[in-house]
A = this chain, B = another copy of it.
């Protein structure tokens, strides 16, 4: 038996050798597999429609609310693979969200009555639109439980802003954008007094409780909501629900439906019929029809009242100015969905079997003619349902939401009780097809299906119950998002996707090619403000300063060391650590934590983050990189030393290692051999058109950055060797090799990438 030498530079040569990876077939045939796995021909067809092979991309990217997880779920269609959970209302440590100072400021924007709210009940995501088309720039999502709205930038998939609704106590019906994202619409849910922290008894429900709808002004240049230019409309206490904005001919108007327009107050514990009886007793609720463009002008003209410092257009004004109307709608509808051409609105009442198609032209005609059947108890004009309807179509039990196809007049509606999706024609009012889903579908989604330009192809059914669909994982089941092929006359079920975290309420999907996210930041970026970070330093500028009991570190992260490797403090010091990731290659994220101090940062290439904590306990606390960033990631470590006050060192030298001249010479040889490999890789890379591959350019930049760090080290180790200080001679030579290894690693990755992506020889 031979004990092999453990490390030689020549091993790197093996990277190009070794056994070739197999590209050959398995010995089992397709027929064998189908028989063994009991797959039908239809299963195989479905598999072929959803499977995305390695290295290929999904056609659409879906953004789903995470329900009570307070997050957004990003997944690919048709593979239904989840690509990311984005932290929004709930702290999430992997992303450092709520654990670094930058993201803490975003979350602090969501404080209510001065207190942290550490979760959210997210409901409706909306992608920013330009002329009614998804533009892929921003994503908005609401929190029903604690009425708030968040802005996510789709350049980096990070939450940038949270705003608190100043007058609501809950809101189900956000976010919906107007056709050019002028406003983001957010409707109240359970009526309550609009004044904050003001109690009125339930006996004064009709007089003092109110609903409403808020129009958040979006400043696209800043990428933030402008709270001061936002406003709300006071509405009756009708439990407003979902909204939709008009588009095309109906642009400038918005539509909000409602339930419990009975204004019923329950009290089962006191012997009263519960809410479910009283809120469902009547045949219809009210669709609110609002001219938001004129509302904005009225607010600008000073016609709003300030409530909690926020502009609220009162019902009285809205009625007088002719911008607010009601239309009876089927009982307890779950959605109002404007057709792609903006000419119709579809509403389905869950306790009815029909969808109702309203004509925007008819609504406008009735308003113009002043033709109203009545006024509601608050004096709002009510347009007769028959004067607004285009048609009604019987679809099945528990119709909820409607989405649109790329084919004209084709719509899809979810049927909750029937557990089906109905495909139907809203122009002609006829049913075209139905498909069973598993089970109890809430929302549904087609590709860009609520924009002016739906893409057809796929539909996702957001089923609330999955019962027997998946391997059991305890009493709390996943939801089931089912992918359905809608490109043919008959719908075909393709895939069951369990939702592992959260109870998604609604999803939107965009063509993948409309998204242009970045893969790294400009060096020194505060990713939450998109501005240069004052804590940024470049390599060699790292510094630790102390002012009184405040210790501030400006450090850097690069494969595979943290600078500094020691932070010294006294008990009680306030520690601020700024860290900049110096990498440029994709994926080279570093993480950072200090043992037991409850801080964590995710530092993607170019990002600068700040961590703050009080060193309130004496002791020795390791810190380390929390991302498996390179072969040496475990060695990417350091120590926070928290000394008792007034501690004085007695021993001032570190223990020496034992190193020999022979070891030094072996290390030097290894360095020389490795450089030859690097030279050969560099020769290959520069022999092809690598500059045409931005990913490769980033890797090459990082590689030369690493190699650049070897400058002066040869002289250094040789000087130590001359003094026969074999430890320092060895370790500085070894450090050259560490830089070389990372240079070679990057170089080999770049080489592989170029070979696999058709790089061409250049002169």
What 1/0 flags go to A389-407 for Cβ under 8 Å of B? 1011010111000000000
Known A84-B473, A158-B474, A275-B635: A6·B331 in contact at CB below 8 Å: yes
Distance in angstroms between the alpha carbons of A272 and B725 in the assembled complex: 13
Contact stretch, chosen from A335-343, A444-452, A561-569, A681-689 = A561-569
A172 at the interface (CB under 8 A from B): yes
What 1/0 flags go to A39-69 for Cβ under 8 Å of B? 1111111111111111111100100001111
**Closest 7 interchain pairs by CB?**
A157-B474, A93-B119, A47-B51, A190-B622, A269-B564, A475-B604, A277-B735
Contacts of A734-763 to chain B: CB distance below 8 A: 734-735, 738, 745, 748-749, 752-753
- List, in ascending order, chain B residues with CB within 8 A of A598's CB: 115-119, 146
Asked if residues A517 and B473 are in contact (CB atoms below 8 Å), the reply is yes
Contact stretch, chosen from A178-186, A225-233, A427-435 = A427-435
A90 at the interface (CB under 8 A from B): yes
A278 at the interface (CB under 8 A from B): yes
Asked if residues B11 and A397 are in contact (CB atoms below 8 Å), the reply is yes
Contacts of A332-384 to chain B: CB distance below 8 A: 332, 349-354
Distance in angstroms between the alpha carbons of A40 and B604 in the assembled complex: 35
Asked if residues A205 and B654 are in contact (CB atoms below 8 Å), the reply is yes
Known A112-B596, A170-B595, A269-B542: A475·B606 in contact at CB below 8 Å: yes
Distance in angstroms between the alpha carbons of A543 and B201 in the assembled complex: 21
Distance in angstroms between the alpha carbons of A667 and B284 in the assembled complex: 15
Distance in angstroms between the alpha carbons of A638 and B566 in the assembled complex: 55
Distance in angstroms between the alpha carbons of A26 and B485 in the assembled complex: 9
A264 at the interface (CB under 8 A from B): yes
Distance in angstroms between the alpha carbons of A203 and B603 in the assembled complex: 31
Asked if residues A586 and B477 are in contact (CB atoms below 8 Å), the reply is yes
A239 at the interface (CB under 8 A from B): yes
Contact stretch, chosen from A16-24, A127-135, A314-322 = A16-24
Asked if residues B196 and A281 are in contact (CB atoms below 8 Å), the reply is no
- List, in ascending order, chain B residues with CB within 8 A of A117's CB: 596, 598
A500 at the interface (CB under 8 A from B): yes
Asked if residues B239 and A276 are in contact (CB atoms below 8 Å), the reply is no
Asked if residues B354 and A4 are in contact (CB atoms below 8 Å), the reply is yes
Distance in angstroms between the alpha carbons of A397 and B717 in the assembled complex: 27
Chain B residue at minimum C-beta to C-beta distance from A482: B54
What 1/0 flags go to A151-181 for Cβ under 8 Å of B? 0000111100000000001101000000000
Contact stretch, chosen from A29-37, A213-221, A246-254, A286-294 = A29-37
What 1/0 flags go to A268-283 for Cβ under 8 Å of B? 1110111111111101
- List, in ascending order, chain B residues with CB within 8 A of A20's CB: 434
- List, in ascending order, chain B residues with CB within 8 A of A349's CB: 6
Asked if residues A18 and B94 are in contact (CB atoms below 8 Å), the reply is no
Asked if residues B735 and A274 are in contact (CB atoms below 8 Å), the reply is yes
Chain B residue at minimum C-beta to C-beta distance from A22: B490
Asked if residues A620 and B200 are in contact (CB atoms below 8 Å), the reply is yes
Asked if residues A57 and B607 are in contact (CB atoms below 8 Å), the reply is no
What 1/0 flags go to A251-269 for Cβ under 8 Å of B? 0000000011011111111
- Give min CB distance, A106 to chain B, whole Å: 15
What 1/0 flags go to A71-105 for Cβ under 8 Å of B? 00111100011111100001111110001000000
Main SS class of interface, A: loop
Asked if residues A7 and B331 are in contact (CB atoms below 8 Å), the reply is yes
Distance in angstroms between the alpha carbons of A241 and B633 in the assembled complex: 13
Asked if residues A267 and B73 are in contact (CB atoms below 8 Å), the reply is no
- Give min CB distance, A44 to chain B, whole Å: 6
- Which of B37, B354, B488 is the one whose CB lies under 8 Å from A27? B488
Distance in angstroms between the alpha carbons of A150 and B260 in the assembled complex: 46
Asked if residues B74 and A500 are in contact (CB atoms below 8 Å), the reply is yes
Chain B residue at minimum C-beta to C-beta distance from A93: B119
- Which of B94, B353, B354 is the one whose CB lies under 8 Å from A69? B94
- List, in ascending order, chain B residues with CB within 8 A of A115's CB: 598
Distance in angstroms between the alpha carbons of A487 and B26 in the assembled complex: 9
- Which of B158, B189, B276, B467 is the one whose CB lies under 8 Å from A636? B276
- Give min CB distance, A649 to chain B, whole Å: 6
A108 at the interface (CB under 8 A from B): no
Find the residue from A145, A147, A482 having the highest chain B CB count within 10 A: A145
Contacts of A604-633 to chain B: CB distance below 8 A: 604-607, 617-622, 624, 626-629, 631-632
Asked if residues B22 and A433 are in contact (CB atoms below 8 Å), the reply is yes
Known A209-B620, A626-B145: A657·B273 in contact at CB below 8 Å: no
A642 at the interface (CB under 8 A from B): yes
Asked if residues A57 and B471 are in contact (CB atoms below 8 Å), the reply is yes
- List, in ascending order, chain B residues with CB within 8 A of A6's CB: 283-284, 330-331, 349, 351-352
Known A442-B628, A602-B476: A51·B61 in contact at CB below 8 Å: no
